[in-house]
């Protein structure tokens, strides 16, 4: 029987650890006023661990300003990951605003309007 590859599983573990560590680093060590209350939604790591896409949302603040600030702080945050992660290559970080929660709120509003409209028709 062929041996199953453990690489995909390891990739998920590394991405999960990066997500947890970044959450802590941003909250405790990043002192940029442009970065408000950030939630790291997901991390996708390339198979060679050279790059990581970090998807985030913001509770307070302007998403584009926050994205710019996070990408400017990517080197600082990557350096913080070097100290925490015990892997050969710590990926270059690329922050991207995640519009999923925004779209979900819009969808909920549309559904609520449709339900209200139907109730008036009945």
User: Which stretches in the chain have pLDDT values below 70?
Assistant: 1-8
Phi, psi of 86 (to 5 degrees): -110, 60
**In this predicted structure, what is the pLDDT of residue 2?**
47
Check the CA dihedral 113-114-119-122 and report its sign: positive
**In this predicted structure, what is the pLDDT of residue 101?**
73
DSSP letter (8 states) at residue 49 = S
Q: What pTM was computed for the model?
A: 0.78
Distance CA 30, CA 85 (A): 18
Q: Cα(first)–Cα(last) distance of the chain, in Å? A: 63
**In this predicted structure, what is the pLDDT of residue 73?**
97
Pull the structure tokens for residue 109: 């509003």
Domains located in the chain, CATH noted: 7-121 (3.30.300.20)
Pull the structure tokens for residue 108: 């909920």
* Strand-pair partners of 4: none
**In this predicted structure, what is the pLDDT of residue 76?**
97
């Amino acid at each position: 029987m062929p041996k199953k590859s453990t690489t995909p599983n390891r990739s998920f573990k590394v991405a999960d650890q990066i997500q947890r560590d970044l959450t802590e680093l941003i909250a405790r060590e990043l002192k940029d006023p442009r970065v408000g209350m950030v939630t790291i939604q997901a991390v996708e790591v390339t198979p060679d661990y050279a790059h990581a896409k970090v998807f985030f949302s913001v509770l307070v603040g302007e998403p584009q300003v926050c994205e710019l600030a996070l990408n400017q702080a990517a080197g600082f945050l990557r350096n913080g990951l070097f100290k925490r992660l015990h892997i050969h290559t710590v990926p270059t970080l690329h922050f991207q605003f995640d519009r999923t929660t925004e779209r979900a709120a819009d969808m909920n509003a549309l559904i609520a309007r449709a339900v209200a409209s139907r109730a008036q028709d009945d």
